[in-house]
Structure 1
């Protein structure tokens, strides 16, 4: 069987970019059991309430919902167990310093296969307030309106409807 190449996204956490300001991102490996990988290959996972913590010099991913593998037996995994993340020691020390600094969280942005191995994109993020979210929505709407106007101008439609 040929070896898997490239990056295949399993799931992305779309709410994370809405609720948090992303300061830095990290790629981490994740310790899984066989039935979890098979469930991931089937594309069944939810990052909705997921977050990461640093405990005793190790990074743990919590609240990731990977449903039981349907063809699994009594060896099936727990659905919401804590999963260890694999990072370099310097990265972990940096994360410890940043999260203790205050106001910063570790949020998973996406889960993907990279050359056949499951990876998680972890973000060091600060929570947004309601007015920040409104400002982001206003900026996005303004950019969309400008793009529409430029598109109409390029097609020769200068007038408004």
Structure 2
């Protein structure tokens, strides 16, 4: 049987401080050397917490999915009086967009040497080592995508 963990917490500023509680066995030996054990319930543990501690709702996994790939859902905790709840806020995923831009820039950098080899070959009259038309098209598509993503970031920054 799997032990159920119950989360209790409090909000300080905008930060949720929490801990998970579950029943546990407390063992000790008395002064006569006799071992003892008792179960410490979640209720007993809750009684030892200060009044600011409240049960915390579980995050609803289905509420974290978003149809728009440029956005992410962030669970924001709030004090609902008798418990801590979550608001699910849709936010523009700046980190994902920045990562995609960096990946595209890295891919461009990785093909710079091909452009240089083609340029060198054209200067010496040697045959081109790469298909310059497809290389140029491929690189332009990456630059166009970078520009599109950077414009998207600018648009969302203005909102």
TM-score, scaled relative to structure 1 = 0.27
Greater percentage in helix: 2
TM-score, scaled relative to structure 2 = 0.27
Structure number, greater radius of gyration = 2
